[in-house]
Structures are given as C-alpha cells and as structure tokens.
Amino acid sequence: MTEKERIGKLGEDLSTRYLESRRYNIIERNFKQLPWGEIDIIAKKEGTFFFVEVKTVNAENEEYLPENKIDYRKKRALYRIIQIYLQKKNLRLDINWQLDAVIIKIHPERNKYTLKHLENIFY
C-alpha cells in the first residue's frame, strides 16, 4: 500500500467513525463504478441516503484546501455513480439523498487531525 493509499484509508476510517458517532448507518464503503470513480461512503440517516466524498491530506500545507478538488467535473461524476448505485440497488431515483464531503487534515507531528463535514455540496 502506498503512502497516499494509507492516508486515504485512514481518512475514510476516521470519517466512518465520525458519521457513526452522529447516528448515520454506514451501508457501504468504496462503491466503485468505472470509469467515473467511486463513492467513498454510503450511509443512511432518518430516511435519507448520504453519499460521502472523503478528502484526506497531510496538513503540512495549512493553506491547501482539499475541498477545492471537488469541482463541477467531480460532482458530475459522483452524480452518475449515485444514479447507478440507486439503479443497482433497485431504489427509486427520486428518493431523498444528498452528497456530502468530509475533509480531513492529518497533523502527524502532533498525532492529531482536523475534520470538517460539508453537507449537501451538490448544489
């Protein structure tokens, strides 16, 4: 496993724990649909499906904003994957769902991290 993959998995693990602590039911992780990519976490809470994109970085550069990597093109790809997921699971396409992001900056020298939950980022 590369360093980038290790940091990414750590971020997804931390995000999963965060969501579970807020009573989200984790349904699936790493739902892949090539060529568009993958949904990192799929969760459900109070009848709504949450499709969560996780961005994890080493916090060496405090000014870098990983959420800027979730641009229009990325959101469009995620939307396609969400539609495919709903079809594959035989769910109505008009169910309640939203696209969220969890941004994690890891501070290895302090053995800490910061987490930011961005809700409903599709709009």
pTM: 0.92
First-to-last alpha carbon distance for the chain, in angstroms, is 35
Tokens 């809470």 belong to: 45
Distance of CA 103 to the CA centre of its chain: 8
Domain covering 3-118, topology: Trna Endonuclease; Chain: A, domain 1 (3.40.1350)
Predicted confidence at residue 36, as pLDDT, reads: 86
Structural domain boundaries in the chain = 3-118
Predicted confidence at residue 72, as pLDDT, reads: 92
pLDDT digits (tens, 9 = 90+) for 42-70: 999 999 999 999 999 887 766 778 888 89
Query: Among 52-61, 70-79, 97-106, where is mean pLDDT lowest?
Result: 52-61
Predicted confidence at residue 110, as pLDDT, reads: 65
